[in-house]
Structure 1
């Protein structure tokens, strides 16, 4: 969940209490959103300096164990048991909530869940784990002769990856969708099997491409994973959408053609963003791996082992063991291998067998209009295809998808390899004529982009095919009937209406193009006429609706892993004193000074420390020990205090220490007292 979504759900009073804090007011400029304040690295660095020791340690714990996954306070305390008392964790969580760093949600049955918004993760990672991320290498010396593509194909159950990548495969799939007369859905809401096979004919992906990365999706019994991924991307990008009735998919030409205007790298980056977002929130080790890789410079080589060590340094908690071999395999299977399959990254091995990777895209590329679009249009004026005498059209690797879209309009795909091969046939050319293209249009496309002259026999044949095209054809139109000649004449006198009327039949009828029905209907209504809607073809639901751009939340087949957005934000913040109910009933000497107490008082202090999940300060052999008590065990020989001191378990009898004191985090430990004025009250 991102701060943008959090801010929409957050109560106004809670948001204002965060924005009023002095540190926030000092950094905030006019119009800054909460997300902008709590994600900018410079702002986070200033905030980190404001955090108390307990708050910093709690944030470190969250980043190490949960990342952006939702967690409960009980789970957090359990993870902290060796290094922080429960009261310290509660106090740290309380402070982080007040700053807006951690957001609390409440389920319908009352359980609280906490989360760190995902768009702040990278900034906090840099501050809390200043791991030296290597600068990368421009070139790798002595690369191994091992063919990694073959090895990856073996790992992916014998399926070779498309050499052009995911954008190329999505392109072929969407071209096929655009050619279907309709994409009707079954009663269950899925595409028909034969039609599905047709539109994914040129898709080559591993059979477990989704579930291997922990993704699940709707209709798993009907769609295999490559097909589901293609449909997911098509819907997320806004190329496919359901009609108003919900019984078929429609193809959004404008959105697709808009995507084709950008460079191939930009197209790949957009798909990477969708893939990355689908995996978030991820297990903490994967979250750290993704964040580190996002910071890598494109076209620079990085060691996979160094990435592993960086991840391990962020996920090592206390003495908890980590299976490095298993983690390496998981990171490879869930993250690295799909990136390689999609051609987002390139992999290589050196002579020692060390695996290296480098980005083929810019993972942090900011989307939108700009130089990226200009570069693509410049490339379009350069030669980028070959026209063979046998009517084959070859598109080399540098040929853009925008050009390929033009070629696909009049030729059929034969080979979807690095060099794409199309063939011009009488049938494919006839399809282009049916969609309004002329021989002159096709010839001009070939001449504009061919490396060499277009063979003369190809030009002559295209012109002959056009001449041989059917001399008559059937077409669907709508007939507008007027009740009288006077009504027909009134329509002709209206300037706006007249331009939408087609051929006049007799005195009272007009042929209306389907493309003009919507605008003509509005014009007639403005004139006071109300055409019978039941007799008008249902074109409204088939219009190309304005679908949100690719980076906005859209519904697809894959189930979102961000389940916490289903709940409401908990606006209630307890007071710090609520951590210690009935504190006024204990002797103040317990928390003011180190003293030697009677055995019964010692047990009372230990029990109270366990109840409040606080800390005991014990003086043993002249040194002060800070103990997190776990239990007070009594037997026939006496009683024993069990707990932890600096990650080590202890079991002490009453004679093992002299003076003692009850430490209440936030009350007498000095950890947050200096922050009271800064934080203020809600």
Structure 2
């Protein structure tokens, strides 16, 4: 969940308490939004300097064990058991909530969940872990070798997917959708099987392209995964939407044609953001892998092994460690392989069997990077063959291909796309208002060489033959009498949209004029049959529904935290230690030697409050996180942890002791932590 979404759900009181803090108030008063303050790296760096030791350690623990996945305080304490007392974790969470770094949600039955906003993850990663130093591009002299050893990722180990990538496949799917008379849906809400085969005819993706990355989707019994992905992308991009009744898909041509204005790299980058968002929140190791990869420079080669090491560094707390080989295999299956198939990245293998990757797109897409060219520039981009084949080389834009697809049929989906001009395909273009002169102009302006004269003559002849006999969709306006017909002709507004008069009482109305004529007739006091107004034309002008609506997605969202409300209650620091005034003040003020029974009471209280014990053993101060007090016939033993090491000490193993309450009297603990970090 992004911070902007959280801010919309955030109670005003909580938002104001964050903004009032000194470090935040100055930025907010200068015009910065709360979203910018708590997500942009430059502001996070300023906030990081404000955090206490417990807050930094807690944030590091969250980043290492959960990332952006929701977690409970109990789960976090369990992960921290070897290095932080429960009270330190609670105090750290309290501080991070106060700053707005961590946001708390509450389930219906009262359970509290915490989460880190996903758009702040990369900024915090860069501050907490030395990622930038670990991931480096390979030396220049190695580049040529790698470029010659690029791996063509195959579809389920057999035939390769589309060599131009995901945007090209989505384009073919949308062309097929736009050619269907209608995209009607079954009672279940899915496309009919025959129609589904038509719109995915040129889609070539692995059979498990979604589930291999951990994605699940609706209608698995109807849609295979490649088809589901195409429909998901079409809906997410706003190219496909359902009509008001919900019984068919409609193509939003304006949204699709707007997308075609961009460069192919930008089109690919837009689809990458949708794919990335579908996987978020991801397992913490994948979150770190994504954030690390997105810092890489486009077209620079980086070692996959170094990326795995970076992930292990970010996800390893204390003695825990992730298996390198298993992590590499999982990363390849869930993330690297799909990116390679989609042509977002390129994968290569060196002479020693090591894998390298490089970005083919800019993963961090911003509005400043948009290259929006509204004109269909007349530059050489295609070849016209005497046999009526039209060849589009790899650098031909999708916008030009959209123009070619209007009058020719796709034959080959390789890097060089092949279209074939037939009488039928050209007739289809004429039916949609294209003229032979326009088709010839497009071919001449974009052809590398002269368009064969035979092609031009044939197109002109096909148009002449087509115009000798034309079937046209029209609407018949039937008047009750000739007097009514005459009245319509006397009305200037109606006369301008009425077509040919048929007999005394009828008019043939062009389909494009039906909607306007209906309004004119209603203004004159007539009530025409409502069936006169064509649904298809009205639906094309409907507002697009929100992209966040459940009807606009097949894939189930992983972002379950958005189902809950933000918890506005922030407890006081003193609430961590209930009835603190009832313990002797000496317990927390000084190191002393206590009677055995008092020692037990102090240990039990430390366990109850999940705090720390400072014990002096052989002249050395030890800070213990107590786990239990075990008693038997021979005496009693304190069990717990000291700096990741498990201890089991009897009462004779130390002399003086003191109860440490994080946030109250833990200055000596913080000093030791700072010293250890310096070492």
Fold similarity call, TM over 0.5 = yes
Please tell me whether residue 184 in structure 1 is matched to residue 179 in structure 2: no
Distance 1:541 1:86 in 2: 61
Q: CA deviation at 1:31?
A: 4.3
Find the residue that maps to 1:448 and give its secondary structure.
Answer: helix
User: For structure 1, which segment, 385-394 or 28-37, has the greater mean C-alpha deviation from structure 2 after superposition?
Assistant: 28-37
Query: Residue in 2 aligned with 1:545?
Result: 542
The aligned runs of 1:236-251 (5 Å cut-off) are 236-251=236-251
Q: Name the CA distance, whole Å, in 2 between partners of 1:661 and 1:245.
A: 71
1:143 matched residue in structure 2: 145
Instruction: List alignment gaps of at least 5 residues for structure 1.
Output: 674-682
**Match of residue 656 from structure 2:** 659
Q: May I ask how many residue pairs the two structures share in their alignment?
A: 668
Residue 426 of structure 2 is aligned to residue 429 of structure 1: yes
Q: CA 1:373–1:537 in structure 2 vs 1: closer, same or farther (change >3 Å)?
A: closer
Instruction: Give yes or no for contact 2:241–2:552 (8 Å, CA) kept in 1.
Output: no
Are the equivalent residues in 2 in contact too, given 1:146–1:349 (CA < 8 A)? no
DSSP-derived class of the 1:357 partner: strand
- Structure 2: how far apart are the matches of 1:497 and 1:547? 32
The residue number in structure 1 matching 2:312 is: 312
Deviation at 1:518, TM superposition (A): 3.9
Distance 1:488 1:66 in 2: 75
The answer (yes or no) to whether the contact 1:159–1:206 under 8 Å persists in 2 is: no
Per-residue displacement from partner, 1:412-444 (whole Å, max 9, x unpaired)?
111000000111111111111111111111111
Would you say 1:293 and 2:317 are equivalent positions? no
> C-alpha displacement at 1:493, in angstroms?
7.0
Give the superposition deviation at 1:41: 1.1
Q: Distance in 2 between matches of 1:643 and 1:618?
A: 12
1:20 CA displacement: 1.1
Alignment partner of 1:143: what SS? helix
Cα distance per residue 1:309-360 (max 9 Å; x no partner):
1111100111113111100101111111111100011122222222111111
After TM superposition, the structure 1 = structure 2 runs for residues 64-75 of structure 1, keeping only pairs within 5 Å, are: 64-75=64-75
Q: Structure 1 residues 445 and 665, CA, compared in 2 at 3 Å: closer, same or farther?
A: same
Deviation string, structure 1 residues 635-662 (Cα, Å, up to 9, x no partner):
0001100000000000011111111111
Give the Cα–Cα distance (whole angstroms) in 2 for the partners of residues 319 and 578 of structure 1.
32
Q: Identify which of 557, 568, 573 aligns with 1:571.
A: 568
Write the mapping of 1:95-114 to structure 2, written as runs, cut at 5 A. Answer: 95-114=95-114
Deviations 1:335-390, CA, capped at 9 Å, x for gaps:
1111110001112222222211111111112137x76113x847x32101111111
Checking the alignment, whether the CA contact within 8 Å between 1:52 and 1:672 is kept in structure 2 is: no
C-alpha contact 2:612 2:625 (8 A) present in aligned 1: yes
Give, in angstroms, the shift of residue 513 of structure 1.
Answer: 3.6
Give the Cα separation in 2 of the matches to 1:115 and 1:518: 52
Deviations 1:370-411 (CA, angstroms, capped at 9, x unpaired): 76113x847x32101111111111111111111111111111
Q: Within 2, Cα distance between the matches of 1:398 and 1:630?
A: 65
Sort the Cα spacing of 1:78 and 1:513 in 2 relative to 1 into closer, same or farther, 3 A.
farther
Q: What's 1:444 paired with?
A: 441
* Cα deviation, residue 198, structure 1: 1.6
Q: Distance in 2 between matches of 1:516 and 1:578?
A: 72
Of 462, 467, 470, 2:459 maps to: 462
TM-score, length basis structure 1: 0.93
Tell me the TM-score normalized by structure 2.
0.93
1:392 to 364, 389, 394: 389
Show the counterpart of 2:199.
199
Q: CA deviation at 1:257?
A: 0.8
- Within a 5 Å distance, the mapping from 1:265-304 to structure 2 comes to 265-304=265-304
Aligned to 1:123: 123
Cα shift at 1:148: 4.5
Question: For residue 347 of structure 2, what is the aligned residue in structure 1?
Answer: 347
Partner of 2:675: none
The 1:526/1:139 distance shift into structure 2, 3 A limit, reads: farther
* 1:247-303, Cα deviation, whole Å (9 max, x unpaired): 111111111111111110011011001001001000111001111111111111111
> Does the alignment pair 1:623 with 2:620?
yes
The answer on whether the counterparts of 2:239 and 2:252 sit within 8 Å (CA) in structure 1 is: yes
C-alpha distance after superposition, 1:196-245 (max 9, x if no partner): 11211111111111110000101111111111111111111111111111
User: 1: distance between equivalents of 2:548 and 2:242?
Assistant: 19
CA separation in 2, counterparts of 1:412 and 1:668?
A: 78
Alpha carbons 1:591, 1:663 under 8 Å: kept:
yes
The structural deviation recorded for 1:599 is 0.7
Contact in 1 for aligned 2:392/2:417 (Cα 8 Å): yes
Match of 2:90 in 1: 90
1:18-56 CA distance string (max 9 Å, x none):
111111012224543221110111110111111111111
Cα separation, 1, equivalents of 2:255 and 2:353: 44
**1:158-201 Cα shifts (integer Å, max 9, x gaps):** 13121111111111111111111111111211111121112111
Structure 2 unaligned segments of length 5 or more: list them.
Answer: 671-679
How far, CA to CA, are the matches of 1:484 and 1:610 in structure 2?
A: 96
Write the mapping of 1:484-503 to structure 2, written as runs, cut at 5 A.
Answer: 499-503=496-500
